[in-house]
Structure 1
Amino acid sequence: MLDFKQKIIALSILPLVLSMLIIVLALNYQSELLSEQSGSSYREKILELRKQQLQSNIELALGAISHIYQAADEHDPLAKKQVAEILNMLQHGDDGYFFVYNEEGINIVHPRQPYRVGKNWWDWVDASGNPLIQILISNAEQGGGFHEYLWEKPSTGLIAKKLAYSVMLDKWRWMIGTGIYIDDIDRDVITLQEEINGYINQTFIVIFVLTVAGVIVVFFSGLFLQASERKLADGKLKVLTNRIVDSQEVERQRVSRELHDGIIQMLVSTKYVVENVIFRLAKGDSATEELAQCEQYLDATINDVRRISRDLHPNLLEDHGLSAALSALIEDYRNRLNIDISFEPLAIKKLLPSDARTTLYRIAQEALTNIERHANATAVTVKINVNESWFILSITDNGCGFDTQKLSRNKSPFVGIGLRNMSERISYFNGRLDIYSSSSGTKVVSKLPKKLLNYSNSNKR
């Protein structure tokens, strides 16, 4: 039989043990839920980045063949052959390539499985029993779409998950597609979940140690120390949980930054054009005009790459704010184009958050580039101002203008890429991009919500 003192100690220890048990069970449930949600969220974000990468690869491939495709008619065997040969040579990464089928399911291009070329694969089904070619063609006819399936991975020879994106060359009724293997995403998700479980296991160990320590302290010190130890355990548990969440967010941001590599995409695009010119020369065709065009395009591409490399993260934008960075950018264009570009800045150093400043800087870059390439303008005005609702950046030129309604109706993947990028950037901040254009000029107005402004960080230049 327990004496009274032992009963008091037992009654003091029992709530602590029960409380720790409840915490462990609740934490175990929450850890499983957190692990599942984190893995799912991570997979969705990486998958979305892969989709953007596939769309970029398709756009680059279309850019490499556009000079042939747009000049050809629907029954031009020589142009079709040239396009097929170009696509057959293009690749991205170790396992990335392009494939082409006509609307009847006959393969035209498949560099990794050449035995498929010339054969009809309309009724062929994949390992999951799905008519793969029919699905890819259907997605392309609907304006472009994605599809996950199982396919042999060239670098390993093993069957792996693959994500494909396909679009239609309407003039020739060709489906052009490319894919990227996503088996690594599942491995990364498992690794992430194992890391989370590792943190949770460490937390379990800490809880166990604290529980034993609490039992010992309560045994010798009584109910007062029991309450104190429980409070300490809860505090440490919250700290550990916060550290886990913070570490996940830091890692996600790092992965997102590394996957967004615009410089390499520009270099790959330039390489595709150069390879096409080399290919034509190797066939013995006359390519004087093409070489001259290629040289001009290559020079422009090199200049763009140098400018992007210099301005990818301009020091002026971080050190001196948006106005100073835009002033330097405008001076660069003014010297290069030899036209009158006026600038009306806002004399505040860091009124906007860093990512918002970068967005407006990129929009100004794109607008000035469009003026350089298409507007034939002799005067440009860049202005920053703030009204009751918006922070506004406007770029106005006196060039030839363009038909904005016709551009919005055009569904071609070759048209309007820059304007779409501008719109997507501004929409991220719930902003607006308004474009007004006529034969007397064009005005691009970018608006960010005024609530983004942080006057506590603003300084006079």
Structure 2
Amino acid sequence: MESESSYHWSLPEVRIVVIYFVLASTWIVGSDLLLTKSVPDSSEVGVIQSLKGLNFVITTAVLLFFVLRRAYGGWRLAEKRRLVVIEQARERFRRLSAHIQTLREEDRTRIAREIHDELGQLLTGIKMELRLVETRLADREDRTLNPCIDKLVEASEMVDTTINSVQRISAGLRPSALDHLGLGAALREEAEHFSQRTSIPCAIEIDDYPETLPSEVSTAAFRIFQESLTNIARHAEARKIDSTFSVKDNILKLAIHDDGKGIDPAELTDPKSLGLIGMLERAENVGGRVAFVRSARKGTEVILTIPLPSVGTPPTVFA
């Protein structure tokens, strides 16, 4: 019991109440005595009582002010610390997300190269061997070998189909144009492939841009373009897509406009819209931003802007 009692007295709120009580009591009693002595005439008793009441109200208001100030000061400090913790957690999450995306792109690049180089070479070697056997069998005049030759031709055609699939899968993981020809060529190639897959015309206008762009910027812009086209094909019900890509005043700008039904504003804040969230994170990781605008013409416009460091290389015109 004794330890519990000492614990209660050690609480800060108990000490604050006791201190304020002693100070307020001392002030009220002392000021009331001074008022009584300063006005000895009994006819002024009503005035004295009024002054005492006013003194009590003022003292209470002052004490309440200090109590609330202390309470709200603690609350504001706690809220500020909470916001700092949230911001730190958000920054750690952003860095982790950027790191994961970087690792994912590195894995995609490695896998795409292994698929394209190793499997492509093996399949090409198999095709050459089949053609060699087919040629040698065809040189013989034994007609009983014709079914075997037909099977070899079919096998060679299957190898060709497999090579095309390998190239398609490799390009889906990481387009070679992005690493060898630059962002403009990769965007144009992706637009053409999208039109072939979906039968939705996708035109892209490419203005001047530097020969070399930071790898992470090129990757982010290409993936955002790719995700935008995927969202249009899934949800927009569009018949046409117009895009522009340019770099002016060290600002990369990529705009994708469709003539579909337009984006629902609720989707922009929906945590289930993982595609939109991914686009926003990719842009933020390279210091850019993505805006989703419901166009007045019709449909939706996705606008990506990324500030670039000063580039001294001359621009290349991509027709």
Structure 1 length as normaliser, TM-score?
Answer: 0.32
User: Which is bigger in relative contact order (C-alpha 8 A, separation at least 6)?
Assistant: 2
* Larger proportion of strand: 1
| Larger-Rg structure | 2
Structure 2 length as normaliser, TM-score?
Answer: 0.45
